[in-house]
Amino acid sequence: MDIHLSKESEVPLRRQLTEQIVFSIATGKLRSGQQLPSVRALARRLKIHHNTVSKVYQDLVRHTWVTRQRGSRHVVGFQEDGQTTGADKNLDDFINGAIRRAREKGYSLQTLRVRVYRRLLAQPADHILVVENDAALREIMRVEIHEALGWRVETCSPNDLKIAPELAIGAQVAAPHYAMAEVEPLVPKRRPAVSLTFSEVDEYVEMVLSLRDPSVISVVSVSEILLKTARGLLAPALGRKHVLRDFLMASGDKPDLRAAEIAFCDSLVVGAVRCPRKVQYHLVGSDCLQYLAGTLSLSKTHQKTVLEVPS
């Protein structure tokens, strides 16, 4: 687990650590089921008080990023009470897991064609459904996926889908990687949800580190979650040399950030921000968009083949 904390930053160590762990989960560096270091082991590694790590782990459990298991073990991922694993899973569950694992290993959709063929034929998707708890993150993902793929994209929360499972009819469901354990049981097994991971921020951190003179760095987004995460991730690069200013954008706002050296903007606000050097952060990873496009394309191809076969 790659964690870098700055004791000189104005951002508390607890927040820096929380946001960096959450971002590692969102970007797939920490996978569902992966065990986190013990409280004392991580505290020793980072040279911070073990109470700080303990409180961070408690926050992560409370917000369902992490599950606490027997023996004080902390494991990445949401797990409902009574959820079955291992031998209790049926064949469809194993196939869903195989699809995700195959994608992580770089196998093509054609390699999986035989196993997923019948599912993709059942009810071809005519739109994409993004499932995420935070409304602002949902809207950012909706816009990015629509602009990249050209498909109609709708959104809902996991609870919305649980209450109204018909929302998934005719939809290719996509959800952030960290929410898959909660979303997957709500989706028809014939067309499993596509897992989305968020883009890395290494290049943006390097931009800040490359600045020679003390500067003002701005982060602009419609999402409070993204702003909070950015503050935690950029803190080590900022130190006491640079000043961070974040702006939560509302509809109609046009912030003038010409005094900032760099303005990092989400995909919804980048067009409205005035700054000599504004950088767009694409939330959804490009590999996820390619995989989603391949899933939709293969579904269409299979459906067309069936329609063209003489009865």
**Could you tell me the CA-to-CA distances from 117 to 110, 122, 302 in Å, in that order?**
10, 9, 8
Q: Are residues 95 and 107 in the same domain?
A: yes
4 occurs within a structural domain: no
Q: Are residues 50 and 194 in the same domain?
A: no
Dihedral through CA 211, CA 213, CA 216, CA 217, nearest 10? Answer: 10
Q: Are residues 168 and 291 in the same domain?
A: yes
Question: Which 8-state DSSP code applies to residue 275?
Answer: -
CA nearest 246: which of 7, 11, 26, 2?
Answer: 11
How many CA atoms within 13 Å lie on the side-chain side of 79? 17
Instruction: Give the CATH number of the domain where residue 131 resides.
Output: 3.40.50
Tell me the pLDDT band of 101, cut-offs 50, 70 and 90: confident
The residue type of 82 is G
Q: Are residues 94 and 232 in the same domain?
A: no
2 occurs within a structural domain: no
DSSP character string of 191-228: SPPEEE-BPP-HHHHHHHHT--S--EEEEEES-HHHHH
Taking a C-beta distance cutoff of 8 angstroms, is the pair 132, 193 a contact? Answer: no
1 occurs within a structural domain: no
Instruction: Give the CATH number of the domain where residue 56 resides.
Output: 1.10.10.10
Q: Are residues 51 and 154 in the same domain?
A: no
- The mean pLDDT of 177-198, rounded to a whole number, is 89
**Could you tell me the CA-to-CA distances from 104 to 109, 164, 243 in Å, in that order?**
12, 30, 38
Tokens of 145: 């996926």
Q: What pLDDT was estimated at residue 106?
A: 74
Q: Are residues 62 and 168 in the same domain?
A: no
Least confident of 46-50, 137-141, 168-172, 209-213: 168-172
Q: Are residues 188 and 295 in the same domain?
A: yes
Q: Which residue has better confidence, 101 or 234? A: 234
3 occurs within a structural domain: no
Taking a C-beta distance cutoff of 8 angstroms, is the pair 223, 133 a contact? Answer: no
pLDDT in tens, 261-275: 999 999 999 999 999
Question: Which 8-state DSSP code applies to residue 68?
Answer: E
pLDDT in tens, 31-45: 888 899 999 999 999
Q: Helices 50-62 and 13-26, interaxial angle, to 10°?
A: 50
Question: For the chain, how many structural domains are there in total?
Answer: 3
Which residues span the domain enclosing 239? 202-281
Taking a C-beta distance cutoff of 8 angstroms, is the pair 48, 37 a contact? Answer: no
Tokens of 157: 């929360």
Query: Which of helix, strand or coil describes residue 35?
Result: strand
pLDDT in tens, 7-18: 999 899 999 999
8 occurs within a structural domain: no
Q: Give the percent of the chain with pLDDT over 70.
A: 82
Is the pLDDT reported for residue 117 higher than 90? no
**For residue 286, what is the enclosing H or E element?**
helix 286-308
Tokens of 108: 């093509």
Q: How many CB atoms lie under 10 A from the CB of residue 127?
A: 13
**Beta strands per DSSP E along 231-308:** 243-248, 262-266, 278-281
**For residue 60, what is the enclosing H or E element?**
helix 50-62
Is the pLDDT reported for residue 86 higher than 50? no
Q: What pLDDT was estimated at residue 136?
A: 95
Q: Are residues 218 and 175 in the same domain?
A: no
124 occurs within a structural domain: yes
Q: Are residues 252 and 302 in the same domain?
A: no
Q: Are residues 68 and 93 in the same domain?
A: no
188 occurs within a structural domain: yes
Q: Which residue has better confidence, 42 or 84? A: 42
7 occurs within a structural domain: no
Q: What pLDDT was estimated at residue 227?
A: 95
Assign residue 47 a region: left if phi > 0, alpha if psi is -120 to 50, beta otherwise?
A: left
Q: Are residues 50 and 150 in the same domain?
A: no
Q: How many CB atoms lie under 10 A from the CB of residue 187?
A: 22
Give the residue from 76, 106, 130 where a domain finishes: 76
Largest CA distance in the chain: 73
Q: Are residues 18 and 48 in the same domain?
A: yes
Q: In what order do the strands lie in the sheet with 153-156?
A: 153-156, 127-131, 171-176, 194-196
- Cα(41)–Cα(24) distance, rounded to whole angstroms? 18
Q: What pLDDT was estimated at residue 311?
A: 35
